[in-house]
Amino acid sequence: MNEDAVRLLIERWRNDPAGTYQSWFLWDQRIKNFRSIRRGITQVVGEIERGVFGNQYRGSSLETIGHSIAEQRQIFKGADHAFVWKPKLRIPDIYENADHQRAFGHLLSTCAGCTGADQIISAIHHIDRLAIKGLGPAVANLLYFLHPTLMPPCNTAIVKGYNALTGANVKLGKWQEYLAMRRGIIELNETWRPLLSNDFGAIAGLLFDLGSGRYPVPPRADDREGRRIWEADLAQVRADGAGAARAQQLAGENERTHTEIQGWLRDLGLALGYSVWIASNDRRRPYGDSVLGTGCLDRLPTAIIASPAADAIRLIDVLWLNAQRERVMAAFEVEHTTSIYSGIVRMLDLALSGDTQASEGLFLVAPDNRESEVQAQLRRPAFSRVADMKVRYLPYSELANNREVLARFGNGIKGMYAISRDLA
């Protein structure tokens, strides 16, 4: 391997606004989705153990997780396909075969509860011996969200990128091949850790961009002409401006819109006399002449901090607390383009966390054209408890048109109920 070329490749890749490092790995919503996906996996395991998981993918709790993972930008696009029932092939065989379904649940349960790689690998060997048709290393994408520093994700492009970079011949679809690739990925990550991360998502993103053809593979160390051509190709990727610049522009527009809505909710909450919490990873975002967290709480109530769901609650986009800062009165998740599933899960974490219950209102704030998507998500069996929580849908247009009037003449949460919609 040409180490100088690999170093140059990684450095260029890290600075590419359209590459997976900038567009996905450093994307703040990526971290927000970890807890919701983990919670979803726990629900799948529980349903399998109770014998109520069912015999189809559509509408199941597994589909909810698969959909959420598949929305994790380009690296996981199509990740849910492996779990979709193919009736002609009768795969993956976890919907008709109850023993196989329980084995799948046992794998997820073991991996969710363990702390080391050895236990995970042992569980993988166990399920591999069962030779369940259609249930292969695509499951590693679930395991990655349980243990991002132990298990790399896996898809066709990642395998192709790994083979191209290392000269290996890993084949897609077999657990033993995946485990062999994992060993190689660990070695690569150890070598280039200062430029990558302990989280295997970073190196998986690099391999994905190589395997999908966005970046050319470095030549051998002794191939001078190949090095010259490769550097020219690498420069072309950087100069391939139109698509990358547009992607960066769109990403910026999305973030500005999300931040702007948070800012509206912040200002409205303060005008109504509430103490306001801004998601811990958003507080320093530029907004107006300062940052989004200006004038807001820098610490949540003790009851929330002590809650098992504290990490998720800290990431809720906006919270309104009573003047004594003891109780959450309203919670808002802004779902501009990201998975609505994750926002709902954080709402449930708050609503089910005992004394921290938001008694007045839980609001999903989204563009007007996402109402049907919000309703579809809330109809999923995984969210059967949502009806009890009275989560409401607040369209952007209603907030935009009424926020100033509510700030001047509003009375508590009543005005928010007037401009939002009951989704029960």
Asked whether the predicted pLDDT for residue 97 surpasses 90, the reply is: yes
d(CA 214, CA 343): 32
pLDDT of residue 312: 81
Q: With bands split at pLDDT 50, 70 and 90, how would you rate the model's confidence at 115?
A: confident
Asked whether the predicted pLDDT for residue 309 surpasses 70, the reply is: yes
% pLDDT > 70, the chain: 84
pLDDT of residue 137: 92
Please, are residues 276 and 297 in contact by the beta-carbon 8 Å criterion? Answer: yes
Using CB atoms within 10 Å of the CB of residue 66, give its burial: 0 to 12 exposed, 13 to 18 middle, 19+ buried: buried
pLDDT of residue 380: 67
pLDDT of residue 367: 86
Is the dihedral angle over the CA atoms 415, 417, 419, 420 positive or is it negative? positive
Please, are residues 104 and 132 in contact by the beta-carbon 8 Å criterion? Answer: yes
Q: With bands split at pLDDT 50, 70 and 90, how would you rate the model's confidence at 302?
A: confident
pLDDT of residue 199: 97
d(CA 8, CA 153): 24
Mean pLDDT of the chain: 84
Tell me which residue of 146, 144, 170 sits closest to 157, measured CA to CA. 170
Q: Which two tokens stand for residue 336?
A: 């501009």
**Which of the 8 DSSP states describes residue 334?**
E
Q: With bands split at pLDDT 50, 70 and 90, how would you rate the model's confidence at 242?
A: very low
Asked whether the predicted pLDDT for residue 240 surpasses 60, the reply is: no
**Which of the 8 DSSP states describes residue 226?**
H
Quick: pLDDT tens for 212-233: 988 888 876 666 665 666 566 5
Q: With bands split at pLDDT 50, 70 and 90, how would you rate the model's confidence at 421?
A: confident
Q: Identify the weakest region by mean pLDDT among 16-25, 102-111, 236-245, 305-314.
A: 236-245
Please, are residues 63 and 81 in contact by the beta-carbon 8 Å criterion? Answer: no
pLDDT of residue 23: 86
Q: With bands split at pLDDT 50, 70 and 90, how would you rate the model's confidence at 388?
A: low
Quick: pLDDT tens for 117-169: 999 999 999 999 999 999 999 999 999 999 999 999 999 999 999 999 988 99
Quick: pLDDT tens for 17-70: 888 998 899 887 787 778 888 888 998 999 999 999 988 888 788 988 888 888
What's the length of the chain? 424
Mean pLDDT along residues 377-392: 68
pLDDT of residue 286: 85
Q: With bands split at pLDDT 50, 70 and 90, how would you rate the model's confidence at 184?
A: very high
pLDDT of residue 121: 95
**Which of the 8 DSSP states describes residue 327?**
S
Quick: pLDDT tens for 344-377: 777 777 776 655 455 568 898 988 888 777 777 7
pLDDT of residue 250: 46
3-state secondary structure of 185: helix
Please, are residues 230 and 216 in contact by the beta-carbon 8 Å criterion? Answer: yes
* Beta strand spans in 315-417 (E): 318-321, 328-334, 361-366, 391-395
3-state secondary structure of 42: helix
Q: With bands split at pLDDT 50, 70 and 90, how would you rate the model's confidence at 102?
A: very high
Asked whether the predicted pLDDT for residue 315 surpasses 80, the reply is: yes
Q: With bands split at pLDDT 50, 70 and 90, how would you rate the model's confidence at 252?
A: very low
- pTM of the predicted model as reported, rounded to 2 decimal places: 0.70
Asked whether the predicted pLDDT for residue 80 surpasses 90, the reply is: no
Quick: pLDDT tens for 3-18: 888 999 999 899 888 8
Asked whether the predicted pLDDT for residue 343 surpasses 80, the reply is: no
